[in-house]
Amino acid sequence: MLTVGLLIVAFLIVAYLVLNSGLSMLNRWALGMYGLKFPIIMTTTHMIFGTWALTPLMLLNDEYALEHEATVRGQGVGLVIVALLNGVQISANNASLGEMELSMNQVVRAFCPVLVALLGVCIEGKVPTSREVVALLLVCFGVMICVYEESNNSWLGLALVWTSAIVQSGQMSFSSRLMSKRLDSFQMTFYTGGVAYLALLPLAVHYEAAIFVEQASQRPLTVTLFLLCSCCMAVLYNVVFFQCMRSLSAVGVSVLGNVKIVLLILSSALVLGELSSWHFNQYIGCVLTFGGTAVYSHLRQATKK
C-alpha cells in the first residue's frame, strides 16, 4: 500500500512539472513569439473546456452526482472566490507572456513565498522565524535586482505578472481550505471552470473579440490547433494541480514550484533562446531568488514535520 501511494505521488510530481512547463512554454511561444494577442479569450476557453470535459464524469458518477446540491450549498461561496481568483491570475500571467520573456516571468513568480508569508501574518497570525525572514529577504533582494533590469523593457509585463503572483497566493490559500473539506481535484476543476468562464467572458468579448476574429480568419489552423492543444493541457494541469494541493499540501506545492521554475528557465534558454539578453546582475538576482526560495521552502517543510 505504501509503495502504491509513493508511486501516485511520484506520478503527480512528474505530471505537474511536465504539464506546467509545457503549457507555459506553449503560451509564451503563441502569445509572445508567434504574435497571438488574445490571452483572456484563451483563458476563458481553457476554463469552460475543463468544465465541459468533466461534465460526463460529474453527472454519470453517482458519488459526484448525489453531492452537487450539498457541495454548492456548503462550499459555493468558496468555490466562487477560488474561481474568480484563478481566472484573474491565469489571465494576467498569460497576458504577461506577451510582454516579457518566460524566464523573467518565472523569476518574478518566485517571489510567491514572500507573498504567502505576508498573507500568513495578516490572515492567520503566523509570524516567520528569524531564519525564514533572512531567506525571504534574499528572495526580495534577488527579485529587486531582476526587476530593476527588466523595468527598462516592460513595465506592463511586470505589472501583469505581479498581479498574477499576488492573486495566486490568495487562490492557493482558499483552495487549500476547500480541499481540506473533502472536495477533490475533479470537483474543484469542474465547479470553478464555469464560474471563471462567466466572469471573464465579458472582458474577453469587450477587449479581444475583434483581435481574435481577425487572427482566426488569417491563421485559422494555427489558432484552432493552439486552442485545442492548450485546452487539453490546461484541464489536465488543473486536475493535477488541485490533486497536488490535496496530496502534498500548499508547502509541498511551493517546494515543487521551485523545481518547476528552474526547469522552465533552463527549458526557455534551450528551446526559446532566452537568457541571451540578460545582464550579469540578473543572473546574480536569479541565484539569490532561487536560493532564498529553496531555503525558505526547506525551513517551512521542516516546521511542518
Look at the block and give the residue holding cell 489571465.
91
Q: Note whether residue 135 is domain-resident.
A: yes
Question: What was the pLDDT predicted at 245?
Answer: 74
Residue 14 lies in a domain: no
Note whether residue 170 is domain-resident.
yes
Q: Select the highest-mean-pLDDT range: 13-22, 163-172, 209-218.
A: 209-218
The lowest-confidence range among 45-49, 208-212, 276-280, 286-290 is: 276-280
pLDDT computed for residue 256 by the predictor: 67
With beta carbons less than 8 A apart as the criterion, state whether 233 and 19 touch.
yes
Please indicate, yes or no, if residue 214 is contained in any of the structural domains: yes
Question: What pLDDT band is residue 121 in, cutting at 50, 70 and 90?
Answer: low
Domain for residue 115, yes or no? Answer: yes
pLDDT score for 211: 93
User: Is residue 247 a part of any domain in this protein?
Assistant: yes
Confidence of residue 122 (pLDDT cuts 50, 70, 90): low
Burial class (CB in 10 A: 0-12, 13-18, 19+), 22: middle
Q: Using pLDDT thresholds of 50, 70 and 90, give the confidence band for residue 253.
A: low
pLDDT of residue 135 exceeding 70, the answer is yes
**Does residue 1 lie in a domain region?**
no
Q: Could you tell me where the DSSP H helices lie in 97-128?
A: 102-109, 112-119
Does 39 map to a domain? yes
Q: Which three cell numbers stand for residue 126?
A: 503566523
Share the mean pLDDT of the chain.
81
Torsion angle defined by CA atoms of residues 184, 177, 174 and 48, in that order, rounded to the nearest 10 degrees = 10
In total, how many domains does the chain have? 1
- Predicted structure pTM score: 0.75
Query: What pLDDT sits at residue 236?
Result: 92
pLDDT of the residue at 221: 93
Q: Give the structural domain span for 212.
A: 19-304
Q: pLDDT-based confidence at 244, cuts 50/70/90?
A: confident
Contact 210, 219 (CB under 8 A): no
Percent of the chain with pLDDT over 90: 22
* Cβ neighbours around 302 below 10 Å, total: 10
